[in-house]
């Protein structure tokens, strides 16, 4: 798997200092230590995949970054400054945008209304539809997104197009870091490819991207680095060129003798017999 050339070579992408750094993050819920001494860095123009099994602490970490939870210990450094993220709106104001798994779009409103929901541009008491529509096309074009019209209700869009709108919406506040929670979970093959293209476009525009996914193929196709979490700790960190699927699975499950590997071995054995 390590010889796949789907990942973009580092040399073509200008990579700056870490735009978002987490160091020594710990979070405890009652008797459960959900995160202990977790660290992670995201640079501008870099896609960092966050992988791990259920209960590994991915969601907790995402919620710490997006301000839903406050960490018990540890520092968050954003754009060179130590920050505390007090809530989702504070995260947005800082420049950390989150695209949730269930997208949170209003089916009855059109694309423009959804993109600017809660942040409508207005002149006097009235919504400035013209300005918003212009900006919508600009956003969608930077993503090379295929949306036929921004004046049709969200209900008439396909799953991939909805994901596109949700990602475009995260860009409205001009963020520096975009977090995507399972963006390909419910999509078909072609739509998944489209969303992966979109993630590469985000990287090209110089954003730091955190991709949370269960899908090893997607992660290996688009990420620059992969951070593996297990039982609330950093289990491993790989550059995507250096890692095989087997190594990833081993890091996620915490054993080379895991159910995925033994299944693969069994199938290999079966085909040789």
Partner 1 sequence: MTDTANHSIAADLADERLIRAQGVGGYVRQFLGRLRAGDLGSLPVIIGLLVICVGFYSAEPRFLSSRSIVSITQFAAPIGIIALGIVLVLLLGEIDLSVGSVSGFTAAIMAVLVVNQGYSMVLAILAALAVGLLIGAFYAVLYTRVGVPSFVFSLAGLLGFQGALLYVLGTQGTINLPSDSFLVQFTRFEFVSPTMSYVLVVLVAAVYAGTQLLQVRRRSAAGLSSPPTVLIALKAAALLVGLGFLSYYVNIDRGWSYLWVLFAVLVVLMDVALRRTRWGRHVFAVGGNEEAARRSGIKVNRVYFSVFALTSLFAALGGLLQAGLQTSVSQASGTTDTNLTAIAAAVIGGTSLFGGRGSAYAAMLGIIVLQAIQTGLNLVGVDSSVRFMVTGGVLLLAVAIDSVSRRARSSSGRG
Nearer Cβ to partner 1, position 91 or 211?
Answer: 91
154 binds partner 1 (CB under 8 A): yes
Kindly tell me which of 119 and 239 has the beta carbon lying closer to partner 1. Answer: 119
The CB-of-132 to partner 1 minimum distance in angstroms stands at 10
> Do 85 and 68 contact (CB within 8 A), yes or no?
no
CA distances from 102 to 65, 225, 232 (A): 18, 25, 24
Rounded Cα distance between 195 and 221, Å, is: 12
- Residue ranges of alpha helices (H) inside the chain are 58-65, 88-94, 111-115, 129-142, 159-170, 189-204, 216-222, 245-253, 259-272
Task: Give the residue, chosen from 10, 53, 120, 182, that forms a contact with partner 1 under the rule CB under 8 A.
Answer: 120
CB nearer to partner 1: pick between 157 and 219 = 157
Binding status of residue 155 toward partner 1 by CB under 8 A: yes
Indicate whether 171 belongs to the interface with partner 1 (CB under 8 A).
no
Residue (96 or 243) nearer to partner 1, CB: 96
Q: Smaller CB distance to partner 1: residue 154 or 207?
A: 154
Per-residue tokens: 208: 């730091």
Residue 68 is a binding residue for partner 1 (CB under 8 A): no
* Residues 26 to 55 in contact with partner 1, rule: CB under 8 A: none
Mark the segment that binds partner 1 (CB under 8 A) among 26-34, 116-124, 248-256, 258-266.
Answer: 116-124
Backbone φ and ψ for 138, nearest 5 degrees, come out as -65, -45
Indicate the residue among 37 and 120 with the shorter CB distance to partner 1. Answer: 120
The correct pick among 83, 147, 260, 261 for binding partner 1 (CB under 8 A) is: 147
Binders of partner 1: how many residues, by CB under 8 A?
A: 37
**How far separated are the first and last CA of the chain, in Å rounded?**
24
Contact with partner 1 (CB under 8 A) among 16, 17, 151, 256 = 151
Q: Which two tokens stand for residue 174?
A: 């001009």
Question: Binding to partner 1 by residue 134, rule CB under 8 A?
Answer: yes
Q: Is 115 helix (H, G, I), strand (E, B) or coil?
A: helix
The strand pair at 225-230 and 46-52 is best described as parallel
Does position 106 interact with partner 1 (CB under 8 A)? The reply is yes
Among 33, 83, 100, 101, binds partner 1 (CB under 8 A): 100
Residue 167 contacts partner 1 per CB under 8 A: no
Contact window for partner 1 (CB under 8 A) among 5-13, 50-58, 128-136, 209-217 = 128-136
In this structure, the dihedral spanned by the alpha carbons of residues 14, 18, 19 and 21, taken in order and rounded to 10 degrees, is 160
What 3-state class would DSSP assign to 18? strand
**Crossing angle for the helix pair 129-142 and 159-170, to the nearest 10 degrees:** 110
Which range in 1-9, 148-156, 241-249, 256-264 contacts partner 1 by CB under 8 A? 148-156
CA distance 146 to 205: 18
Pairing of strands 46-52, 18-29: unpaired
Instruction: List the beta bridge partners of residue 225.
Output: 48, 239
Binding site for partner 1 (CB under 8 A): 88-89, 92, 100, 103-109, 113, 117-120, 122, 125-127, 130-131, 133-134, 137, 146-157
């Amino acid at each position: 798997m390590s010889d796949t050339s789907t990942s973009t070579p580092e040399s073509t992408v200008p990579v700056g200092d870490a735009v978002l750094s987490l160091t020594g993050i710990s979070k405890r819920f009652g008797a459960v230590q959900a995160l202990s001494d977790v660290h992670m860095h995201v640079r501008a123009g870099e896609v960092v995949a966050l992988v791990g099994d259920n209960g590994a602490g991915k969601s907790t970490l995402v919620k710490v970054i997006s301000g839903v939870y406050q960490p018990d210990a540890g520092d968050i450094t954003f754009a060179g400054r130590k920050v505390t993220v007090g809530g989702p709106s504070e995260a947005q104001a800082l420049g950390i945008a989150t695209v949730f798994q269930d997208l949170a779009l209003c089916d009855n409103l059109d694309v423009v209304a959804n993109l600017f929901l809660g942040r409508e541009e207005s002149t006097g008491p009235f919504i400035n539809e013209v300005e918003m529509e212009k900006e919508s096309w600009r956003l969608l074009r930077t993503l090379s997104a295929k949306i036929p019209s921004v004046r049709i209700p969200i209900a008439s869009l396909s799953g991939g197009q909805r994901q596109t709108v949700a990602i475009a919406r995260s860009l409205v506040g001009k963020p520096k870091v975009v977090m995507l929670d399972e963006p390909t979970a419910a999509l078909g093959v072609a739509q998944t490819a489209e969303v992966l293209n979109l993630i590469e476009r985000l990287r090209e525009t110089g954003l730091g991207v955190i991709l949370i996914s269960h899908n090893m193929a997607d992660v290996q196709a688009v990420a620059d680095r992969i951070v593996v979490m297990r039982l609330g700790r950093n289990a491993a960190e790989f550059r995507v060129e250096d890692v095989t699927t087997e190594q990833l699975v081993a890091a996620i499950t915490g054993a080379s003798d895991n159910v995925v590997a033994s299944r693969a071995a069994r199938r290999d054995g079966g085909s040789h017999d």
